[in-house]
Structure 1
Amino acid sequence: MEAKSDSKTAAMHTKPFILVVEDDRQMGGLYRTLFETQEYPYSLVRNGKEALMAFLSGKIDIVLLDLGLPDLDGQQIIEKIRSFSNTPILVVSAREEDRQKVAALDAGADDYLSKPFSVDELLARIRVIERRLKTPGGQATETSFINGPLKILYDEQRVLLNDRSVHLTPIEYKLLVLLSKNVGKVLTHNYIGREVWGYSMDEDNGSLRVYMTMLRKKLNHQLIETSFGVGYKMNRVEDLEE
């Protein structure tokens, strides 16, 4: 296991500690250069067993995970971590099929980035997770949620857009609340189906698609993003403005 623990700058103390799980040496070199340049503290491991040991041994804020490892499949690692921890997991993998992305997200991954990727996009995804770590659940209290022009008053079951009430059906409201409580995270069709309707939506996503279309139209804002073939997520306004 390679560890970057030196504290040469105060900035590294304020940034999240990243556990990188990657068996490809060239990719490992890229991550090493990137995170040292950007002053992120990190550990680099090359197989699943080392990843689980490193996770249990120290304070890990973000897991950056390749799925194709020599000993354990990445999905197994996600499931093991999720059995006892909510630490954000960003999958970075060459597996591009929708079913593989869905499986990783359903297992508990927070986001999925396909290889090859843009370094700028990777850093942007990490910054999104950082913001979520600093403000869990978005700009929210127990009774309300605020994201740019959108405000949800949970106790009153009211939705405001630019301080004007928005009428939503009960299902639309449930969908919006679910997205708001997982802001920045891709929710798969199956996960949404289980949470809102009580069952998985394996092949029949037609109803969900209709409700999401109507919800986005009523909000009149690009807050809700479609991840084609996978699911939906709510973006933060500041992420859209970057």
Structure 2
Amino acid sequence: MIKVLVVEDDTQLVRALKINLQARKFEVETASDGGNALRVAASRKPDVILLDLGLPDMDGIDVIKRVRESSSVPILVLSARHTSEEKILALDAGADDYVTKPFSMDELLARLRAAVRRREIPAPADAVSVVTTDEFTVDLIAKKVRRGDRSVRLTPTEWHLLEILISNPGRLISQRQLLLDVWGPTYSEHTNYLRVYMAQLRRKLEADPSHPRYLITEPGMGYRFEG
């Protein structure tokens, strides 16, 4: 059973989420503030987190950063903050998706299922299992990245994006295709998501992120991996 941690201080919304999630056979844990959310996330190891940003004790952005210090669990933000700047801030901190309140329960559940699928999809049996460059090594089967002698922690969305590019060396993948494959049809025009996540990947993997050697942008078109 998939375990969902709902971090929200609106008791009515928590109740609605819990009813809808349990009706679809999800196991639900709840926390009404950031401190409790971090404790539950550490002890209960949820498969996905639904996180409100406006918590009574700390900003949700700080919760995301703290979770990302030790976990790659998918994090879906639920927030009344609707500006592009707020969304990019949350994504840059390590969130995997951003849902603006008020939202459709069906859409939220679809995004939650997509986040879980992204984490669980195995690599094809006939795919190249390890890709090595001068800067980093990607193990597509173990879903691990190393740079020199250290492990590089990626969020599930960062991994999915990197996996698509690495699995298609030299091939230009259009912005629209990446958005459809990683985030789904709702996000097919949200090219700012790609800019944020590619910047994050370059900071983690490239020797000179401002002049990338491996994760290449074709302006207005898409991205490609050059091995």
In the superposition, the TM-score normalised over structure 2's length comes to 0.64
What residue number does 1:192 align with? 198
Residue in 2 that maps onto 1:35? 21
Q: Is the 2:74–2:116 contact (alpha carbons within 8 Å) kept by the matching residues of 1?
A: no
What do the CA deviations read for 1:82-105 (whole angstroms, capped 9, x no partner)?
Answer: 011111100011110111110000
Question: Equivalent residue for 1:214?
Answer: 221
What secondary structure sits across from 1:213 in the alignment? coil
How far apart are the structure 1 equivalents of 2:110 and 2:124?
Answer: 17
TM-score scaled by structure 1? 0.61
Q: Aligned ranges for residues 1-242 of structure 1 at < 5 Å? A: 13=1, 16-135=2-121, 142=129, 154=167, 157-159=169-171, 168=172, 183-184=182-183, 187-193=193-199, 195=202, 198-199=209-210, 211=218, 213-215=220-222
Structure 1 contact 60–87 (Cα < 8 Å) conserved = yes
> SS of the residue aligned with 2:182?
coil
The unaligned stretches of length 5 or more in structure 1 are 1-12, 146-150, 160-167, 201-207, 217-242
Distance verdict in 2 for CA 1:103–1:17, change over 3 Å: same
Q: Where does structure 2 lack aligned partners over 5 or more consecutive residues?
A: 132-139, 141-163, 185-191, 212-216
Q: Is the 8 A contact 1:90 1:109 kept in 2?
A: yes
1:193/1:49 Cα in 2 relative to 1: closer, same or farther (>3 Å)? closer
Q: 1:30 to 1:137 in 2, by over 3 A?
A: farther
Residue in 2 aligned with 1:3?
none
Shift of 1:143: 5.8
- Flag the 1:137–1:108 CA change in 2: closer, same or farther, 3 A: farther
Amino acid in structure 1 at the alignment position of 2:129: E
Instruction: Report the AA paired with residue 220 of structure 2.
Output: T
Instruction: Name the SS of the counterpart of 1:23 in structure 2.
Output: coil
CA contact 1:67–1:73 (8 Å) conserved in 2: yes
The verdict on how the C-alpha distance between 1:79 and 1:138 changes in structure 2, with shifts beyond 3 A counting, is farther
* Alpha-carbon offset, residue 30 of structure 1: 0.8
Shift of 1:38: 1.2
Equivalent position amino acid for 1:60 in 2: P
For the pair shown, which has the larger CA radius of gyration, 1 or 2? 1
- AA of the residue aligned to 1:189: R
Asked if structure 2 preserves the Cα contact closer than 8 Å seen for 1:105 and 1:188, the reply is no
TM-superposed CA distance for 1:187, in Å, is 3.9
Give how far 1:44 is off.
1.2
Amino acid at match of 2:221: M
Q: Find runs of 4+ consecutive structure 1 residues off by over 6 angstroms.
A: 137-140
Map Cα deviations across residues 55-96 of structure 1 (whole Å, 9 max, x no partner): 111121101000000001000000000011111100011110
Residue type of the alignment partner of 2:5: L
Q: Which has the higher mean CA deviation after the structures are superposed, 191-200 or 38-47?
A: 191-200
Is the Cα–Cα contact under 8 Å of residues 18 and 62 in structure 1 kept in the other structure?
yes
**Could you tell me which amino acid in structure 2 is paired with residue 24 of structure 1?**
D
- Contact kept? 2:91, 2:196, Cα under 8 Å: no
* Deviation at residue 111 of structure 1 after TM alignment: 0.5
Q: Deviation at 1:29?
A: 1.2
Partner SS state of residue 125, structure 1: helix
User: Per the alignment, in what secondary structure is the counterpart of residue 220 of structure 2?
Assistant: helix
Output one character per residue of 1:155-181: Cα deviation in whole Å (capped at 9) or x when no partner.
x8354xxxxxxxx4xxx79x89xx59x
Match of 1:204 in 2: none
Amino acid in the other structure paired with 1:83: E
